[in-house]
Structure 1
Amino acid sequence: MNLAEKLQSYRKQKGMSQEKLAEVIGVSRQAVSKWESGQSYPEMDKMIALSDLFQVSIDHLVKDLSADRGALALDPAPGNQATPEESSPSSTIYVRSYLYHYEYKSKATLFGLPLVHINYGRGKVYVAKGIIAVGNISIGLLSLGIFALGGISIGVLSAGLISLAAFSLGLLLAVGGVAAGTFAMGGVALGIFAFGGLAMGMFSVGGAAIASRIAIGGYANAHIAIGNVARGAYTILVEDSQFSVIYADQVRALIHQEYPGLWRPIVEWLVCLFA
């Protein structure tokens, strides 16, 4: 029995159509048809995936059973059932593969993009593009992936209007281990308004806060600096991080003095730490 015959037999034993096998392995139905008719052979990565799916070794798949007197029939008699593993020599090394791929694309579209596109897997980089996109790399209004780009992006590395990730870049809001955006929150935060362990921006609040205008934190460096260690043109020292002992009116008056045109919500955000 040759490779083409084995593939067809194992597929039928699994109760799978050519379309289903093609979907699982990550190829077209035409490719499966050519394998089973002997017109072409699977590439090595596909051969590994087939080996794992059918639970047989690669050498068992490619070896012609007609020349192997020790080989067992694929359809043993009842009561004498043998698994594919039992039909192979005990010395055979089995190769396990964890390749997989899943893709779904909705028929409904908006602006030429599917409303939902899910395209992810292992062994290859898959890109999803849609209003809602989920993939290894995703691009969409709502985007989830290892690398995400979109209006609202969530991933390991993401960029968008609103971005949440280990490494996050957001036009409006960025939240992550390292975050950069208009409003940035993270272990390291870079933004006009920055809040984090290390915060750098125009207005910064954090363990170490560095700003061009106002900084509040354990270490603060800015034109107006408030903290345990404070450096700037105007400084307010805080003992033992007791920010509540500082009067909000005192801070508010200092900000109005130096930045009289500063937008009121920003002022209130900065003074909310104080009594």
Structure 2
Amino acid sequence: MEFADKLQKFRKERGMSQENLAAIIGVSRQSVSKWESGQAYPELDKIIALSELFNVTVDNLVKNTPSSTESAENVQHIRYVDSRYMYRYEYKSKRTWRGLPLVHINIGRGIHVAKGIIAIGNIAIGGLSIGGIALGGLCLGGLGFGLVSSGGVVLGLLMALGGVAIAPIAIGALAIGIIAIGSLAIGMFSVGACAIASHIAIGQYATGHIAIGESVRGAQTLLMENNKLISAEQVRALIYQEYPRLWKPIVERIISIFN
């Protein structure tokens, strides 16, 4: 039995239309029609997806006809795993803005890209992006890059919050930025267990031009030892001594730590 005949047979045993199959595999209905008529042949990744969907080996799908017993087992299994219609889910809102749908959801096995004002997908690109890889304005994802990003490894044009965060304002286990807050913080102004800064570092271990902490290294230092408290006035005087033109909101935010 040829591949085209097998594909049609498996699809009908499952009780699926060509549209259903096309949506699950991530192709057009016309592509499925061409496969079943023998006018075209799917790419390797689509063949693998079809074999997984119908619970047959790639060889059985493209080469050998399975036995009647095996076919019956496949039918039983296929009926049991009807939830695999969720192999892939895609939704696009009819409303658009500048050519982009307001909402685009594209999730499932494999690589699926969602592009929209609100985008949710394996790869998401949009104003608000949620996905394994997220790109856009406000991003939530395992790997995120945007204006404001949150996730495992994130890059932000303004702010980043994550395991590894890189942005002008970065908060994370490893934070790198102009203002960095984290277990390991590296930046112009750093606060963390280990803080490294070109200007002001505050932490248990602090290295910077101004270093404040239990173990410090810098041109100007304030040492916290034997539960000795450092006053906000001491910090304010030292900052204005070294950086008299430093933007006041940054100074006050740093001083607030010691209030």
Considering the TM-score relative to the shorter chain, is it more than 0.5? yes
Bigger shift: 31-40 or 216-225?
Answer: 31-40
Supply the distance in 2 between the matched residues of 1:64 and 1:233 (Cα, whole angstroms).
77
Residue number in structure 2 paired with 1:53: 53
Letter in 1 for 2:25: I
Alpha carbons of 1:41 and 1:172: their partners in 2 closer, same or farther (altered >3 Å)? closer
CA apart distance, 1:85: 6.9
Supply the distance in 1 between the matched residues of 2:25 and 2:186 (Cα, whole angstroms).
48
Question: Is 2:28 the partner of 1:8?
Answer: no
Alpha carbons of 1:110 and 1:41: their partners in 2 closer, same or farther (altered >3 Å)? closer
- Secondary structure in 2 matching 1:83: helix
Question: Is 2:242 the partner of 1:258?
Answer: yes
Residue number in structure 2 paired with 1:208: 194
Question: Is 2:14 the partner of 1:21?
Answer: no
Alignment of 1:119-134 (within 5 A): 119-123=106-110, 125-134=111-120
Question: Is 2:92 the partner of 1:105?
Answer: yes
- Secondary structure in 2 matching 1:239: coil
Letter in 1 for 2:52: D
2:193/2:205 contact within 8 Å kept: yes
Give the TM-score taking structure 1 as reference length: 0.78
Alignment of 1:1-275 (within 5 A): 2-62=2-62, 71=68, 82-84=72-74, 100-123=87-110, 125-239=111-225, 242=227, 245-275=229-259
Supply the distance in 2 between the matched residues of 1:44 and 1:225 (Cα, whole angstroms).
58
Alpha carbons of 1:37 and 1:229: their partners in 2 closer, same or farther (altered >3 Å)? same
CA apart distance, 1:220: 1.5
Residue number in structure 2 paired with 1:89: none
Supply the distance in 2 between the matched residues of 1:273 and 1:73 (Cα, whole angstroms).
70
CA apart distance, 1:64: 7.4
- Unpaired runs of 5+ residues, structure 2, are 77-83
1:135/1:146 contact within 8 Å kept: yes
Name the larger-Rg structure.
1
1:101/1:119 contact within 8 Å kept: yes
Alpha carbons of 1:263 and 1:45: their partners in 2 closer, same or farther (altered >3 Å)? closer
Alpha carbons of 1:219 and 1:115: their partners in 2 closer, same or farther (altered >3 Å)? same
1:56/1:85 contact within 8 Å kept: no
Q: Percent identity?
A: 61
Between Structure 1 and Structure 2, how many residues are aligned?
Answer: 251
Supply the distance in 1 between the matched residues of 2:115 and 2:74 (Cα, whole angstroms).
41
Supply the distance in 1 between the matched residues of 2:137 and 2:62 (Cα, whole angstroms).
49
CA apart distance, 1:60: 4.6
Alpha carbons of 1:13 and 1:225: their partners in 2 closer, same or farther (altered >3 Å)? same
Give the TM-score taking structure 2 as reference length: 0.83
Alpha carbons of 1:182 and 1:45: their partners in 2 closer, same or farther (altered >3 Å)? closer
- Secondary structure in 1 matching 2:168: strand
Supply the distance in 1 between the matched residues of 2:209 and 2:41 (Cα, whole angstroms).
71
Alpha carbons of 1:207 and 1:16: their partners in 2 closer, same or farther (altered >3 Å)? same
2:13/2:75 contact within 8 Å kept: no
Supply the distance in 1 between the matched residues of 2:256 and 2:70 (Cα, whole angstroms).
78
Alpha carbons of 1:132 and 1:238: their partners in 2 closer, same or farther (altered >3 Å)? same
- Unpaired runs of 5+ residues, structure 1, are 75-81, 87-96
Supply the distance in 2 between the matched residues of 1:218 and 1:273 (Cα, whole angstroms).
14
Supply the distance in 2 between the matched residues of 1:184 and 1:134 (Cα, whole angstroms).
24
- Secondary structure in 1 matching 2:47: helix
2:232/2:256 contact within 8 Å kept: yes
